[in-house]
Amino acid sequence: MPEFKIQHVTKYTYDSPVRDSANQVILYPIQDDYQEVIKHDIKITGEPFVDVHIDYYGNEVGSFTHTESHTKLEISSKMLVITKHRMYPIDDMFADQQWSDLRLLNHQVPFIDFLRQEYFEGLDELKAIIESQKIANETPYQLAMRFCKYVYENFDYIKGVTTVETTLDEIWKIKAGVCQDFAHILMEMLRMVNIPARYVSGYICTSKATMRGEGATHAWAEAYIPNYGWLGLDPTNNIIANENHVRLAVGRNFSDCSPVKGVYKGAAGHTLEVAVSVGNPDDDHMEEYEHDIHHHDAPIPKPANVPKNSYRQYMEMMQQQQQQQQ
């Protein structure tokens, strides 16, 4: 079973002193049959008390307030996680029965949230593409895998061309983006054919230099397959998300899974740095990651002239993308 040591640092530097910084963090790795958290520590500037609760989607969420005046805020998350390989769907049921089973979920909680489509101008064009590619007797699993491949082959992986504010319309027009954008397009396609789909934030941990998103925060989608459950699909790499993907949170979209977001009192000007280091427990370099902060490849929001009260949106965008930026 793979064992990964992950360190994730989010650092804000303000143009002038700020105070009463109230924040929410979703940096707690999921624990279940396929992911075991051996150790997890979060350190925050000022060492505020962190109140932890479970949200509607089952994510562990922490909330804290740093009341004293400060010019920097750093949130450091370090974890040791063991993952376990999950068998792929056997897909031994008749396709008609599987599609019938999915229709029964249309009005069931929580699947309602994961079936709701987002309207965008390219919706009709996407529907036409889906209709033209229909294959008789294809199962939900087979179709989901084909959709994953479609996004991988028809969208260019380019850092910096999108931001967390980029709409589906814009992504569809430029046919490019990063992991967050790939995941959102795939979820839209799955929901259009009545396959529940949810967003996942986390990390991809491999030694393959060609793997997109390695060594940074990552995002992918999960499709609900009858008689199996949630199947992780990584359209950025056209693979099934399995033991090399460490999960932090799930939700309807990246906003539900934002690693850090909050508000504060003070000047709007600030900069954000995010560093993620992934390795094995014996890697010595893991202790020195603070000296090698790098920016994520995910869409970077526009930092100029951010109004005071939009900090929450800015953070959500910036950090979410830095956690979904691969």
Instruction: Identify whether residues 123 and 234 lie together within a single domain.
Output: yes
- 126-137 per-position pLDDT tens digit: 999 998 878 889
Tens-place pLDDT, residues 72-118: 999 999 999 999 999 999 988 899 999 999 999 999 999 999 999 98
Which CATH number is 245's domain given? 3.10.620.30
Are residues 289 and 215 both part of a single domain? no
The residues with which 73 forms a beta bridge, in sequence order, are 12
> Minimal CA–CA distance to 196: which of 108, 115, 102?
115
Tens of pLDDT along 168-203? Answer: 999 999 999 999 999 999 999 999 999 999 999 999
Domain boundary among 216, 239, 255: 255
Q: 240, 255, 270 — which closes off a domain? A: 255
Torsion from C-alpha of 292, 297, 303, 308, nearest 10 degrees: -90
Q: What is the pLDDT of residue 213?
A: 64
Stretch among 94-108, 148-162, 267-281 having the lowest mean pLDDT? 267-281
Q: Does 140 map to a domain? A: yes
Helix (H, G, I), strand (E, B) or coil at 208: coil
Check whether residue 202 and residue 312 sit in a common domain.
no
CA–CA distance from 42 to each of 16, 131, 263 (Å)? 25, 47, 19
Residues 26 and 142 reside in one and the same domain: no
The percentage of the chain sitting over the pLDDT mark of 70, rounded to a whole number, equals 83
Q: Is the pLDDT of residue 16 over 80?
A: yes
Instruction: Identify whether 171 is part of a domain.
Output: yes
The string of DSSP letters for 134-154 reads --TT--HHHHHHHHHHHHHHH
Beta partners for residue 75, in sequence order: 10, 44
Residues 241 and 298 in one domain: no
88 inside domain: no
Same domain for 124 and 144, yes or no, is yes
Asked if the model's pLDDT at residue 281 lies above 50, the reply is yes
- Domain-embedded: residue 183: yes
Euclidean distance between CA atoms 161 and 174, whole angstroms:
9
156 and 77 in a common domain: no
Task: For CA atoms 255, 200, 125, 301, give the dihedral sign.
Answer: positive
Q: Is the residue at 62 inside a domain?
A: yes
Report the CATH number at residue 26. Answer: 2.60.40.2250
The pLDDT of residue 203 = 94
Identify which has the larger pLDDT, 293 or 10. Answer: 10
Determine which helix (DSSP H) or strand (DSSP E) holds 169, and give its type and residue range. helix 168-174
142 and 50 inside one domain: no
Q: Are residues 142 and 193 in the same domain?
A: yes
pLDDT value at residue 287: 47
- Could you tell me which residues come within 8 angstroms of residue 17 by beta carbon, excluding any fewer than 6 positions away? 69, 70, 71, 266
Predicted pLDDT at 85: 96
Our measurement of the distance from residue 238's CA atom to the centroid of its chain's CA atoms, rounded to an integer in Å, reads 16
Q: Which pLDDT does position 297 carry in this prediction?
A: 39
What confidence score (pLDDT) does residue 209 get? Answer: 59
Whether residues 58 and 137 fall in one domain: no
DSSP sequence for 49-67: --EEEE-TTS-EEEEEEE-
pLDDT at 252 over 60: yes
Q: Is residue 136 part of a domain?
A: yes
Q: For the chain, what is the domain count?
A: 2
Domain boundary among 255, 279, 308: 255
pLDDT reported for residue 107: 92
Residue 191 belongs to some domain of the structure: yes
Same-domain check for residues 245 and 261: no
**Backbone conformation region of residue 237, classed left if phi is above 0, alpha if psi is from -120 to 50, else beta:** alpha
Mean pLDDT of 60-76: 95
Is the Cα dihedral 201, 175, 165, 294 positive or negative? positive
Instruction: With beta carbons less than 8 A apart as the criterion, state whether 257 and 184 touch.
Output: no
Q: Which of 193, 196, 258 is nearest to 221 (CA)?
A: 196
Residue 326 lies in a domain: no
pLDDT confidence of residue 27: 97
Q: How confident is the model at residue 159 (pLDDT cuts 50, 70, 90)?
A: confident
* Cβ atoms 235, 181 nearer than 8 A: no
For 266, the domain range is 3-83+257-321
Torsion of CA 21, 24, 27, 31, to 10 degrees: 150
Specify whether 231 is located in the same domain as 273: no
